[in-house]
């Protein structure tokens, strides 16, 4: 199978549409008959990342690259960046707004959950240059493309 | 336990999913915090929540939740029901509190997400 790239634009603070890109990606992966446990892991990471971008990030882009033996997910935003990545990776640490908490988010569990559900995660950010979260998922743990 | 029995037990209103009432539920979780839902094994469960927002439905869809009950008679907006239709997720509203709703379904045999009672 040739590699396939899909990209989605995410608008900052647009809670009405937050999550739509992740659901689109979830439906796409289901239609490709990827293993359901793998699709769930990817969808959860994508959604956590999408919500992070909507809550903190400024406008963002999600890029999914579907390869023959793995999939990569990149969520790149124009937000203020993460001041202390090590702290942000600790469960329970959060800088989310009250508005995000009212939506049921902002409990400081997003990044740790993305780490748990991906096979590799890299976070790059510099002050004023936004945040780029790069995740990789291997098919080998599950069945891969049928 | 079938969704139809859950609807009866909770005196619930069916907001969406009339055609899915034969589906079976074994495990149930209750949370207003979607971050919590996303870290738990929620495939095929019933989710009870007081968060009647579109994010509750989108979280349910992403996490593989089979159906959602809004407690305390919370009535979601039209966009929430539209999201449920798009995702094929049955939505119910019960007049009971979270505590009483959970108690009623526990008494009927539903288990927590770890399968314990």
Residue by residue, DSSP assigns B3-41 as: HHHHHHHTT-EEEE-GGGTT-B--BEEE-S-HHHHHTS-
The verdict on residue B37 lying in a domain is: yes
Which pLDDT band, with edges at 50, 70 and 90, does A2 fall under?
low
Chain B residue numbers with beta carbons less than 8 Å from the beta carbon of A105 are: 34-35, 55
Q: What is the DSSP letter of A142?
A: S
pLDDT digits (tens, 9 = 90+) for A80-131: 888 889 999 999 999 898 888 888 998 889 999 999 999 999 999 987 789 9
Q: Which structural domain range is residue B100 located in? A: 3-107
The verdict on residue B27 lying in a domain is: yes
pTM over 0.90: yes
The verdict on residue B58 lying in a domain is: yes
Instruction: Provide the chain B residues 3-42 that lie in CB contact (below 8 A) with chain A.
Output: 32-39
Of B53, B31, B51, the closest CA to residue B40 belongs to B31
pLDDT digits (tens, 9 = 90+) for A37-81: 999 999 999 999 999 999 988 899 999 999 999 999 999 999 988
The count of domains in chain A is 1
The count of domains in chain B is 1
pLDDT at B17 over 60: yes
Distance from CA of A137 to the nearest CA of B (A): 17
The verdict on residue B113 lying in a domain is: no
What is the C-alpha to C-alpha distance for residues A35 and A52, in angstroms, rounded to an integer? 26
Query: Who among A43, A103, A109 is closest to B55 (CB)?
Result: A103
The verdict on residue A145 lying in a domain is: no
pLDDT of residue A146: 45
- In this structure, what CATH number is given to the domain that contains residue B20? 3.40.1390.20
The verdict on residue A107 lying in a domain is: yes
Provide the ipTM: 0.94
**Is residue A116 less than 8 Å (CB to CB) from chain B?**
yes
**Is residue B66 less than 8 Å (CB to CB) from chain A?**
no
The verdict on residue B101 lying in a domain is: yes
Distance from CA of B64 to the nearest CA of A (A): 7
Q: Which structural domain range is residue A30 located in? A: 4-138
The verdict on residue B112 lying in a domain is: no
Which of A2-6, A31-35, B52-56, B108-112 bottoms out in mean pLDDT, i.e. has the lowest? Answer: A2-6
- In this structure, what CATH number is given to the domain that contains residue A19? 3.30.565.10
The verdict on residue A144 lying in a domain is: no
**Is residue A48 less than 8 Å (CB to CB) from chain B?**
yes
The verdict on residue B95 lying in a domain is: yes
């Amino acid at each position: 199978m040739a590699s396939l790239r899909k990209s989605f634009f995410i608008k900052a603070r647009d809670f009405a549409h937050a999550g739509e890109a992740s659901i689109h990606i979830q439906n796409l992966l289901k239609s490709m008959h990827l293993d359901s446990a793998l699709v769930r892991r990817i969808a959860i990471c994508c959604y956590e990342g999408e919500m992070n971008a909507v809550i903190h990030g400024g406008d963002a882009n999600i890029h999914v690259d579907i390869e023959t033996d793995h999939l990569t997910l990149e969520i790149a935003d124009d937000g203020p960046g993460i001041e202390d990545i090590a702290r942000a990776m600790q469960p329970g640490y959060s800088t989310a707004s009250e508005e995000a908490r009212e939506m049921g988010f902002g409990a400081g569990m997003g990044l740790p959950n993305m780490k748990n559900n991906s096979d590799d995660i890299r976070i790059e950010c510099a002050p004023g240059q936004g945040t780029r979260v790069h995740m990789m998922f291997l098919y080998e743990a599950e069945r891969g493309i049928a | 336990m079938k969704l139809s029995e859950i609807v009866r037990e909770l005196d619930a209103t069916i907001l969406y999913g009339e055609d899915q009432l034969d589906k079976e539920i074994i495990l149930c979780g209750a949370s207003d915090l979607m971050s919590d839902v996303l870290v738990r094994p929620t495939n095929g469960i019933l989710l009870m929540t007081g968060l009647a927002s579109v994010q509750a439905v989108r979280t349910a869809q992403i996490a593989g939740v089979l159906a959602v009950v809004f407690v305390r008679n919370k009535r979601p907006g039209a966009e929430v029901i539209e999201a449920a239709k798009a995702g094929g997720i049955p939505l119910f509203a019960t007049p009971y509190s979270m505590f009483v709703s959970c108690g009623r379904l526990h008494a009927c045999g539903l288990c927590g997400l770890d399968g314990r009672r």
